[in-house]
Amino acid sequence: MKAIFAALFALCTATAGAAEVHIAVAANFSGPMQVIAPLFERASGHRATLSFGATGKFYAQITNGAPYDVLLAADDETPARLVREKQAVDATAFTYAIGRLVLWSARPDLVDARGEVLRRGGFKHLALANPKTAPYGQAAMQVMTRMAVADALKPSFVQGENIAQTHQFISTGAAELGFVAYSQVIRNDRIGSGSGWIVPAELHDPIRQDAVLLARARDKPAARAFLDFLRGEAARSVIRSFGYELR
């Protein structure tokens, strides 16, 4: 009986200490996060509620009172801005991943290994995430500008609200090719289907993706526990497996 009471006491204690963490997640990180969230839940007893979308839209929602506890952004500028504006907690931001950009097509014969298809043409639609709200879209514009093809390609642009919608445009054939996150197409350490060009890092600014604790969760242990877990090796191993670089 003592053992039973002890087990029940431990269960009640764990349940009492459990909490829900509302996490706003950049769309490019949806794959890793869907793996990391259950690992965190098993390790901590807390529950992670996930929302996926464009970083710029999350910024607007947070500044208008959206009930998120943690932001996993697709850049490092948005968390820093939220800290400056007292919408996030100072000294809690850190880089959880460094993203990689890919020019990708669902067609196996379209994108060459050097991205020369952008100069060669032969396609009607090129998809990219909205550069005003999505850092991967900003990076795509930088690549095309540095390759001196941006102006010529603008008539072919199809803009996704975020990188997830951009990938959908390409995978369904609405656009023959486009810029997506490497994490969306990686399989066994390489591009898994179709054809693609992993864009050299020097063609765009580094895509440093920062996490930050939001002001409403300043005193919420479960939110801080999630950020600690994200820094740990279990989460970092998942992040690496999706093709991200780590600091």
Position 102 pLDDT exceeds 50: yes
| CA-to-CA dists, residue 131 to 20, 48, 84, 100, 245, angstroms | 32, 29, 23, 16, 22
With CA atoms as reference, report the closest residue to 30 among 223, 183, 136, 206: 183
For residues 241 and 61, is the Cβ–Cβ distance under 8 A?
A: no
pLDDT (0 to 100) of residue 10: 39
pLDDT (0 to 100) of residue 18: 86
Residue 216, CB-side half-sphere exposure with 13 Å CA sphere:
13
Mean pLDDT of the chain: 93
Angle, vertex CA 138, rays to CA 60 and CA 124, nearest 5: 115
pLDDT (0 to 100) of residue 9: 38
Band (pLDDT 50/70/90 cuts) for residue 39 is: very high
pTM of the model: 0.86
At 171-219, the pLDDT tens digits run 999 999 999 999 999 998 899 999 999 999 999 999 999 999 999 999 9
Beta-carbon count within 10 A of 18 CB: 13
What mean pLDDT comes out for the span 28-52?
Answer: 97
pLDDT (0 to 100) of residue 15: 43
Position 8 pLDDT exceeds 60: no
Band (pLDDT 50/70/90 cuts) for residue 94 is: very high
Percent of the chain exceeding pLDDT 70 equals 93
Structure tokens at 211: 């996490």
Band (pLDDT 50/70/90 cuts) for residue 247 is: confident
Position 150 pLDDT exceeds 90: yes
pLDDT (0 to 100) of residue 12: 41
pLDDT (0 to 100) of residue 7: 38
Element (H, E) at 118: helix 117-120
Q: Which domains does the chain have, with CATH numbers?
A: 18-98+208-241 (3.40.190.10), 101-198 (3.40.190.10)
At 115-144, the pLDDT tens digits run 999 999 999 999 999 999 889 999 999 999
Band (pLDDT 50/70/90 cuts) for residue 103 is: very high
